[in-house]
Structure formats: C-alpha cells, structure tokens
Amino acid sequence: MLRNSKIVLHSRPHGLPVRDNFSLVSDGIPIPMEGQVLVRIDLISLDPAMRGWMNEGTTYISGVGLGEVMRAFSAGQVVESKHPAFKKGDWVSGLLGVQAYSCLSGDYLSPLDLSLVPLEEHLGVLGMPGMTAYFGLLERGKPEQGNTLLVLGASGIVGMTVGQIGRIMGCRVIGTAGSLEKGQFLKEICGFDEVILYKTEKMSERLREYCPGGVDILFDNVGGSALDSGLAALARGSRVVICGAISQYNESSFSGPRNYMKIVTARATMSGIIVFDFQSRYPEAISTISQWLKEGKLITRSDIYEGLENFPGTLNKLFKGENFGKLLLRVNHD
Amino acid sequence: MLRNSKIVLHSRPHGLPVRDNFSLVSDGIPIPMEGQVLVRIDLISLDPAMRGWMNEGTTYISGVGLGEVMRAFSAGQVVESKHPAFKKGDWVSGLLGVQAYSCLSGDYLSPLDLSLVPLEEHLGVLGMPGMTAYFGLLERGKPEQGNTLLVLGASGIVGMTVGQIGRIMGCRVIGTAGSLEKGQFLKEICGFDEVILYKTEKMSERLREYCPGGVDILFDNVGGSALDSGLAALARGSRVVICGAISQYNESSFSGPRNYMKIVTARATMSGIIVFDFQSRYPEAISTISQWLKEGKLITRSDIYEGLENFPGTLNKLFKGENFGKLLLRVNHD
C-alpha cells in the first residue's frame, strides 16, 4: 500500500535552516473528498521566500505552523480527482508542500500544459519566479529603451529572467553573480552586457565603470551591502524594485540599506513586488514568455536535485549562492 | 568703518559639529559690482541639511569648502544695490551664509513681502521648510481624505507644517515629539489628533493604539529606529516620504531602515523630497500657505537665538531635539 512522505516543520530555525528543524514523516495517503484532488508530486520549487515562511508570525502570508507540512510550490500529476476541472493524469501545480502526495481542493490547482514547456519550467520561468520577474520589472521597474538595468543576484531564476526581459525591452543590462561560470552564462547565453563577480570584484568600482550614467532600474534580490552599492549608483529619477533580501534572511539582525537617502537625492522611488497581486494577469505573462522562449529570445536554466530527505540542505544552496538557475527538488517515487 | 563677521568652515566635523570646526572671521565689507547686491543679514535659518553641507563631496549640492563661509539660507535688508530688481531698504532672502553681510548677484535673491508675514516666517513656513512640507506632503505623500498620516519629528518646522497641511486635507494626524510641552502644542494648537512622546512612550505600542488601520502616509525627518517603527505600521498601499534623517547625520555609521522589506509586503512606495525641484511652483505654495495663516488654519512657531558666535551650538539644538519650531539665529548689528 502506498504511503506519503512529508517534511514537517519541527522547530523554527535561527539562521540557516538545519536538518533538525524538520522531520521526515511517513503517513497514509488521504482519500480525496468531493471537490478535492490527490496529486503525486514530482518537482518541488525551492525558493528564498520559504525561509520567511519558517518564521513565526504573518507578513504577506502567515508562517508555517510547527508540526505542519513545509509549504512549497510544487508540481505533479493527478492520481484521483473529485473536482470537475481535473482528471487522472493531468499535470498541475500549486502550494502542494514538501511531500510526495498532496490532497487539496482543486480550486487551488493550476493545470499545466507540458506541450508548451517541460515540467521544471512551469515552476521556473512560467511559474512564480517568471511571473515575479515579468511583473516586477515591467510594472515596478518601468523599463524604457536605453535604460541601464542592474540586477542583483542575476544567476537565480528571477534575476536571469529579469535581465533578459530588460534586454528585450532595450535596456543595457548589468548583473551580479558569484562565479565565473555563472558570469559567462549570463553574458554569453543570456545576453547580459556586463556581469560583476561580486565575490572577487569591487562592486562600486565596476558600477562606476559599467554604469557611467548611473543605474535607472535597480532590481534587488539580495539586500545588504549589494543593495547599498546599487543605491549609491542610482541615476536621477530611477526605480528601485525590491524583490527579496537573500543575504539577510538568515542573519540574526536584518540590515537595512545604509544608503537609502540616495533615494531622496536621486529623486528615486523604491517599491516592491508581491507576485500574487498580479494573479489575474498570469495568462498574459505566460503567453508572452512562452513566445520569447519559442523565439529563443529568453533562455532559462534549472538546477534539479533529488530526494525529499535532502531538504533543507538543498534549499540552503540558495542562501550560500550555490544554485544556478531555478532550484528544484525531485521526489523519488520508487 | 563697518566690518563683516563671518563663520568659516575650518575643519570637517566628526559627529556633532563643535566650536573648533569653525572660525569667526572679521573681514572688510565688499563693494557690490554691476548686478550685485549688498545685504545686511538679520536672520539666519538653521536647518538639519547644514550638517550634510559640512561633509566633503557632493550629494544634491556640493559640500562647503574648507575656509569658505558656512552656507545658510538667510534674510536681511538691502544696503546697496547694483541690480535693477532691488533697491536700498528691500527685504530679501537667499543663500547668504552664516555672516553679517553678504554681497552676491541679485539674480539669486528673493524679495520678501513683510506685509504678508513677519521676517522669521519668511524663513520658516513661507521659506524652504514650508515649501518642503507643502510639496513633500502633497506631491509625494498624496494625502486623501480619511488617510492616517504619521509625522516623525513633528515639533520641527517641517513636521508641524506637514501635520497641519495633512489635517487641512482631511487626514487623521499622528506626530512624534520629545517633550510634553511640544506634544501639547501640537495637539492643542496645531490640531494633531495624537502625539507620541518618543522619549518616554513605546512607539510600537502607541502606533498600534493610534493607527489601528495602519499608516497611509509616513513623513520622515528622523530615520533610525523611529523610521523602523513607522515602517512596521504601514498600511497597504501606503506612501513613505523621506525628508531627512536627523537621528543619523552625526552618527559615525549611518543606519538604514531594518524594516524596509515592509515596503514590499505593504505594497508601499518610498520616495524623497528635494524642495528645489519645485522652485517654479513656490508662488502657488506661498499664496496657499499665506491664506491658511490668515484664516488661522495653520499655526507656526519660531525659535530665535542671538549672535553669530553662538553657531554651531545653536545649530546643534536640532540634533539634540532641543528646538521647537523654526530654529533661527539673529545677527547682532551694534
């Protein structure tokens, strides 16, 4: 008889999540009730936002309770459906959690068209990261032809997508990355104009060299000193889009941007992107991004690891800068 | 024969400016050349921005050079004019410096109408602080009837004016102040709905009590932990207007707002106000504010000290929270 395996939040992490913060629990597989769908999960999206979900309290979404399955955006195949919109064999995504099977209301599921792109890309460039990049850049960054766009954290899926959409919109694009290999990929494959290798190069010097007229759009996934360097380089009338602060999520004391007064002197505006606000417009973004993928204008990259038991070590690759593209965990169903 | 007295920047302050950073120099009075005007200065405006002007480098305006007269916005009476727009006896204001006499091109002077308001108010509510309050709140804060407005640093001239303009626009207004006397003035005379005495009360608790629906407009002159408390209280779709960061100007390490991610989760925007950007619209603001003063809808307050030799001790009242209304230094011409 089939059993479910699930990763349960056991205690709240201080700093980087460790194995002891979670339990791998074996459980029965629930039987779907009217309106519900049972999904066999194949791929789990590992995102920086998950670190925030492990904390107590509520921000834009409430924290995961102790003893609850760790929240995650995942994708898989319908095993049994009691919802009219889905049938056995359909591919779907949703907040299915870090587990092997999920049983939930079909109202919370999105159907996936695997003829469009492979499954992993539905969780990446056509999933939340892609939507975040698309609406964050277009709606908050408001790119104009000839603008200089600086993407902090460009080798993650959001950053690499933002940079390429910026390039398509006619921006000059500069990104930051942690290794030569990532830098080469961004320049040679994704068409970034310049990449700053933040571990070995001096950000402020490279920014002066690469952005002599200043930065018109600063898209930030990183926070901390990277954000400060970016702020210092702002051009007049620039837009700062805060998407995340991956450098700070595991710090005991969250650091704010020391250079925030540059927003005043540069006549800049700072705002953020919460992707759920654009839910009604996902179809527009999916159709546009799919077209760009088909035309080869947009390149994407997945970074897939195996086994529920390797959460949270795999998640931590995000915080150590070890991921390269969309980070995913594949569930082994043997 | 008349002599000029002037305060010259002698060395750059670290932390709070001290007497040794300045020299009081006696000098001859220049004779105006074609196009120039000689002004006998009566009142010198002391503003938080002056601390930034003492630093090396350029922000929105270059720093004062060592050996140069300290920059200040001042007002006085024309002694001799070789500019067609001004004649002896006219009252004028401009960047006249911390000195007894100033000789400069008449193009940089503004005429003052003393029948409108007394001289000190031309440097306050009708001067740069008033313009900052007016355009900062209306153009950046975008107040709407029923909004909750939080003014950090409300007993300064900018803060008390922002709060009252907010009240006129139909906002519920909460301010922070450092003493009971200031708090009473803001509530009883200026019509603030609530005042938080930040030295003795817990900001976060008072904000929960006074702003149960959150803060729609956060107008910040203070920075540091006050700004963090304000950010934590933001309502959805709120506007953060950064005007200054008086708590930070004398710190060796400028602190950024740790709670800046609240801008993201609250779907807020942060921007700043540089008053010079609205120069062409000063007449509109002066006419509106004058009308409010006449109708008693807007109350203002000046805090006047005497003697060039008491700069920078008097300026430091701003950084110690000891000023109450528009801080001014009167030049003694004996």
- Helix pair angle (A282-294, A157-168), 10° resolution: 80
- Share above pLDDT 90 across residues of chain B, in percent, rounded to a whole number: 90
Quick one: pLDDT at residue B61? 77
| Best CA proximity match to A194, nearest among A168, A213, A214, A175 | A175
Q: With bands split at pLDDT 50, 70 and 90, how would you rate the model's confidence at B97?
A: very high
Can you list the residues of chain A whose pLDDT is less than 50?
none
Does domain B128-276 fall under CATH 3.30.365.10? My reply is: no
- Chain centre distance of CA A102: 22
Cross-chain Cβ contact B264/A254 below 8 Å: no
CB B164 within 8 A of CB B193: no
- Cα gap A46→A49, rounded to integer Å: 9
Quick one: pLDDT at residue A57? 79
CB A154 within 8 A of CB A298: no
Q: With bands split at pLDDT 50, 70 and 90, how would you rate the model's confidence at B73?
A: very high
- Chain centre distance of CA A304: 14
Third-level CATH fold of B3-124+301-330: Quinone Oxidoreductase; Chain A, domain 1 (3.90.180)
Measured in angstroms, the CA of A209 and the nearest CA of chain B are apart by 19
Pairing of strands A215-220, A302-306: unpaired
DSSP code of A123?
T
pLDDT tens figures, B274-308:
999 999 999 999 999 999 999 999 999 999 999 99
Q: Which two tokens stand for residue B20?
A: 């040794």
pLDDT tens figures, A21-34:
999 999 999 999 99
Query: Has residue B249 got a pLDDT over 90?
Result: no
Measured in angstroms, the CA of B179 and the nearest CA of chain A are apart by 27
Q: With bands split at pLDDT 50, 70 and 90, how would you rate the model's confidence at B144?
A: very high
Q: Which two tokens stand for residue A27?
A: 């459980």
Closest chain A residue by Cα to residue B234: A59
Residue carrying structure tokens 């005991």: A252
Quick one: pLDDT at residue A51? 93
Quick one: pLDDT at residue B302? 95
- Share above pLDDT 90 across residues of chain A, in percent, rounded to a whole number: 90
pLDDT tens figures, A35-53:
999 999 999 999 999 999 9
pLDDT tens figures, B2-22:
899 999 999 999 999 999 999
Amino acid letter, B298: L
Quick one: pLDDT at residue B209? 97
**Can you give A256-286 as a three-state secondary structure string?**
CCCCCCHHHHCCCEEEECCHHHHHHHHHHHH
- Cα gap A38→B302, rounded to integer Å: 71
Quick one: pLDDT at residue A268? 98
The CATH 3.40.50.720 domain(s) of chain A lie at 128-276
Burial of B200 from C-beta contacts in 10 A (0-12 / 13-18 / 19+): exposed
The CATH 3.90.180.10 domain(s) of chain B lie at 3-124+301-330
Quick one: pLDDT at residue A94? 95
Measured in angstroms, the CA of A228 and the nearest CA of chain B are apart by 9
Question: For the residues B13-34, what does the mean pLDDT come to?
Answer: 94
Pairing of strands A3-9, A22-28: antiparallel
Phi/psi at B66 (nearest 5 deg)? -65, 135
Chain A residues with beta carbon closer than 8 angstroms to that of B265:
59-60, 272, 274
Q: With bands split at pLDDT 50, 70 and 90, how would you rate the model's confidence at B59?
A: confident
Measured in angstroms, the CA of B183 and the nearest CA of chain A are apart by 28
Cross-chain Cβ contact A274/B265 below 8 Å: yes
Chain B residues with beta carbon closer than 8 angstroms to that of A265:
59-60, 272, 274
Amino acid letter, A192: F
CB A141 within 8 A of CB A170: no
Q: With bands split at pLDDT 50, 70 and 90, how would you rate the model's confidence at B47?
A: very high
Write the ipTM: 0.91
DSSP code of A56?
S
- Share above pLDDT 70 across residues of chain B, in percent, rounded to a whole number: 100
pLDDT tens figures, B205-231:
999 999 999 999 999 999 999 999 999
Amino acid letter, B62: S
Q: Which two tokens stand for residue A2?
A: 């089939």
Question: For the residues B94-98, what does the mean pLDDT come to?
Answer: 96
* H or E element at residue A218: strand A215-220
- Give every CB contact of residue A221 below 8 A, 6+ residues apart in sequence: A48, A151, A152, A153, A156, A158, A159, A243, A244, A245, A246
Quick one: pLDDT at residue A150? 98
- Cα gap B120→A75, rounded to integer Å: 68
Burial of A261 from C-beta contacts in 10 A (0-12 / 13-18 / 19+): buried
How many CB atoms sit inside 10 A of residue B283's CB?
Answer: 9
- Give every CB contact of residue A291 below 8 A, 6+ residues apart in sequence: none
Quick one: pLDDT at residue A253? 82
Quick one: pLDDT at residue B80? 97
Quick one: pLDDT at residue A74? 96
Quick one: pLDDT at residue A78? 98
Shortest CB distance from B263 goes to which of A228, A253, A270? A270
How many CB pairs below 8 Å do chains A and B form together?
89
pLDDT tens figures, B113-125:
999 899 999 999 9
HSE value, Cβ hemisphere, 13 Å, CA-based, for A321: 18
